Amino acid sequence: MPLYLLYPLYTAGIFLVMLAVVPRERIRRLVPYALLYGAVGDFVWLLILGYLGIAGYINYGPFGFLGMPFFPLLAWTFFFIIYLHLLPERYPWNYLFTLSAAAYSLIFSNVLQNLGIFAWRTGRLVAPAVVYLTWMILVTYTYQNLFTRTRVRP
């Protein structure tokens, strides 16, 4: 099986998990936020990490455009629908959830590197941990403080 087929397989898998976990009405309400945090967020991170030579997707075959694969953008959107649906409203549970999501993302990115479809060029721990922890904290903080009635205590 060509490596690039892992992209649509993973995206389909996370899509099915999203459908199983998140009610349809809630999916509709969370799509704009998930597109912002997932697709746009991943696109911005890829531009920054690619420009700095830190990381990037590889072996995406016909599933990319202008050097950017499009299935990860969808997968991150589905991930953030699940994330925002499950995100606890109360402190400190919301930040414990955020740390868990960052740890999951770190572990999963290393799995993707082992599979040969993602490459961290500066190491597998520090740079990815900083990226995912920053990303998840920004998502949690902005979503709960700007887009919901929940206010997060620092």
Return the SS3 of 2.
coil
Instruction: Give whole-number Cα distances, 58 to 32, 63, 115, 132, in Å.
Output: 28, 11, 10, 19
Smallest CA-to-CA distance from 84 within 16, 18, 30, 136 is with 30
Q: Distance (Å, rounded) from C-alpha 147 to C-alpha 59? A: 37
**Is residue 110 included in any domain, yes or no?**
yes
Q: Are 151 and 145 in contact (CB under 8 A)?
A: yes
**Is residue 47 included in any domain, yes or no?**
yes
Return the SS3 of 45.
helix
The domain containing residue 120 runs over which residues? Answer: 3-147
pLDDT recorded at residue 68: 81
pLDDT recorded at residue 152: 53
Each residue's pLDDT tens digit in the chain (154 positions)? 788 888 899 999 999 999 999 999 999 999 999 999 999 999 999 899 989 989 988 888 788 887 788 899 999 999 999 999 999 988 899 999 999 999 999 999 999 899 888 899 998 999 999 999 999 999 999 999 888 765 555 5
**Is residue 153 included in any domain, yes or no?**
no
Q: How many domains does the chain have?
A: 1
pLDDT recorded at residue 153: 53
**Is residue 41 included in any domain, yes or no?**
yes
Q: Distance (Å, rounded) from C-alpha 126 to C-alpha 36? A: 25
Q: Distance (Å, rounded) from C-alpha 57 to C-alpha 130? A: 18
